[in-house]
Chains A and B, each alone.
Chain A
Amino acid sequence: MLHIRDVTRRFGKNTAVDQVALEIPHGQMVGIIGRSGAGKSTLLRMINRLIDPSQGSIFFDRTEVSTLAGPALRRWQRDCAMIFQQFNLVPRLDVLTNVLLGRLNHRSTALNLLGMFSREERAHAIASLERLGIAQAALQPAGTLSGGQQQRVAIARALMQQPKVILADEPIASLDPLNAKVVMDSLQDINLRDGITVITNLHTLDTARAYCNRIIGMAAGKVVFDGAPEELTREAVRMVYGAEADGDEISEAITSTSAGTGMGARPRKPAPALAPAFAAH
């Protein structure tokens, strides 16, 4: 259980994340939606501790993640893999090495710097690449791959970390619809087959509806919606995105990155009973 307790993050006078409290049980697939600047990315980065919270605390099971430092912090970061909009691979290193870099925290620094990865680790890395369908590119420099392929390499690297949680920060925002589907399908597969909690920031409503069994809406740093996709009504959407007062509906067709019919099938996993937590205002 990932437990976020009244976490606040300020940048100067600006409050990016404001008193967010969430409980995310193991194995959920959570989508976070909201306008740009709503604090989605900051929230994910605080969970991985790329950014430190200004206030509040984050617990994972019994560990207080928000106060970790040094090796313990790096161990948490290993357990909490992160996927980025811009992939954040090392472009000049080949794909296989990039995937093996997910093992860094499992091994000694001296062995790492010498680049001595074991046979099992290489086999594991190739298996991860195969699972994501890009094993044929294993020896190319990562920078020469297309965006969709790079994002799959990033997911393979995340898998190599053997994480308990995967955080994905706009994983499909730079991808074309077909690649977006491939990437989201892989994340869903990891969530269902390996039981890893996946928390992903999304900028398209239909993707969130199609893939997640829980949707969290953020506006101005606060959580304004928290519930199952079915509960995400027109009013709730308006609350999250702050649509014009005249009631113009946000057209999901405009923001959609879906390639058409392909995306609709969300597996009917029993959604946890969650009351929609409409914020107090």
Chain B
Amino acid sequence: MSITTSDTALSVERHWQELASRRRLYTIGGLAFMVLALAGSLWFANESNAGKFWDRLPHLFDFVDQLLPRDGWEVWRALFDLPSPYDDGSLKYDYPEGRMYLTQSLYVPEYVYKMIETLNIALVSTLVGFALGFCLCFLAASNLVTQRWLRFFVRRFMEVLRAFPEIVIAGFFLAVLSLGAIPAILAVSIHTVGALGKMFFEVVENADMRPDEGLRAAGANWPERVWFGIVPQVMPNFLSYALLRLEINVRASTIIGAVGGGGIGEVLRLSISQTHEAKTLAIILLLFLTIVGVDQFSAWLRRKLVGDQAFAFGRGD
């Protein structure tokens, strides 16, 4: 099919062909680079590993073998601190050790107590992070703050807060404040302020500015404009992000426990290193159930609080 075309149309066509072939070249080049980079990284990782991956792979099953308890009930006995029939006086089978007695006969099993300790770390640091992140985020939003230096300063500050992983900050505070939950709370809070602050100010920047304009035209000052014009719009998303952060913080405070921050992570590390197989499995089971529970709870709460309005703002309805 031949269509006679004008010079302009021909030149557009030629130009388009050029652009298309250049795009194709970039795509092929990019893919080739990706494959090379991946192969190189894997090779380097294997070289720098103590043992070679393929040589060590069969030992995976030794570990599984070591984790098997003497019988299936041992896991439950370890979890609920019930006496074991294999008790030989060693710590390995002394499950009732570590019960937290509330009254003469009523007790909280050790690992449940440690789990509550970890959950508490996560909860407190999410609340602290929410409060401080909330205060900072409005100062970092370009639609609310015209002073570039202030925005720049607040944003860099939050970047610094979230730049270091919780475990690094925790290591520092553990050295200063000694072992326990307080340094863990500090570490997780600091990271949470930075992480939530960033998400919050991005939500604020997407807010519909018409309510704000209306308030400005009525003579409202900055705090009033933020509180009445912006906060009602962004609050559902803030809560949604905070609940997500709570889930993340439960995992983070578990890990921090393993480096001395108290809670379930600490007992997990101890029982793995001492090959207390029933205790290890009990803790893993408890962790799994807790994390699933927290995720389900926060999903339910999010639905309750936010409903389906979460992402409906900015449409002017």
Contacts and interface: CB of A to CB of B under 8 A. Distances in A.
A111 to B, nearest CB: 11
Interface in A95-132: 97, 101-102, 104-105, 109, 112-113
Given A91-B316, A112-B224, A48 B217 contact: yes
Given A92-B232, A93-B228, A113-B227, A104 B220 contact: yes
A143 B219 contact: no
Interface of A: 48, 50, 71, 74-78, 81-82, 84, 86-93, 97, 101-102, 104-105, 109, 112-113, 143, 154, 157-158, 161
17 contacts: A48-B217, A50-B217, A74-B220, A75-B219, A77-B216, A77-B217, A78-B219, A81-B218, A82-B218, A86-B210, A88-B214, A91-B233, A92-B233, A97-B228, A104-B221, A113-B224, A161-B219
B211 interface: yes
Contacts of A50: 213, 216-217
B224 A104 contact: yes
Contacts of B232: 90-93
B258 interface: no
Max count, chain A CB within 10 A of own CB: residue among B210, B218, B223, B228: B218
B215 interface: yes
B217 A82 contact: yes
Interface of B: 208, 210-211, 213-221, 223-224, 227-229, 232-233, 313, 316-317
B224 A109 contact: yes
B134 to A, nearest CB: 14
A74 B219 contact: yes
Max count, chain A CB within 10 A of own CB: residue among B211, B219, B228: B219
A76 B317 contact: no
A160 to B, nearest CB: 9
A154 B211 CA distance: 11
B223 A109 contact: yes
A113 B225 CA distance: 10
Contact of B317 (A48, A71, A143): A143
Contact of B219 (A84, A97, A105): A105
Contacts of A86: 210, 316
Given A50-B216, A101-B228, A143-B317, A88 B221 contact: no
B228 A90 contact: yes
Contacts of B317: 91, 143
A48 B215 CA distance: 12
Contacts of B218: 77-78, 81-82, 101-102, 104-105, 157-158, 161
A91 to B, nearest CB: 7
A71 B214 CA distance: 17
A97 B228 CA distance: 9
A154 B214 contact: yes
Contacts of B208: 91
Contacts of A77: 216-219
Max count, chain B CB within 10 A of own CB: residue among A78, A88, A89: A88
Contacts of A104: 215, 218-221, 224, 228
A84 B210 contact: yes
Q: Return the 4 tightest CB-CB contacts between A and B, nearest first.
A: A88-B214, A78-B219, A105-B219, A82-B217
B93 to A, nearest CB: 59
Nearest to B209: A88
A81 B221 CA distance: 15
A93 B227 CA distance: 11
A95 to B, nearest CB: 13
A109 B220 CA distance: 9
A74 B219 CA distance: 4
Nearest to A102: B218
A154 B316 CA distance: 15
Given A101-B228, A112-B224, A90 B219 contact: no
B229 A90 contact: yes
Nearest to B230: A90
A187 to B, nearest CB: 16
Max count, chain A CB within 10 A of own CB: residue among B217, B223, B224, B229: B217
B282 to A, nearest CB: 47
A67 to B, nearest CB: 17
Contacts of B313: 91-92
A74 to B, nearest CB: 4
Contacts of A78: 218-219
B61 to A, nearest CB: 57
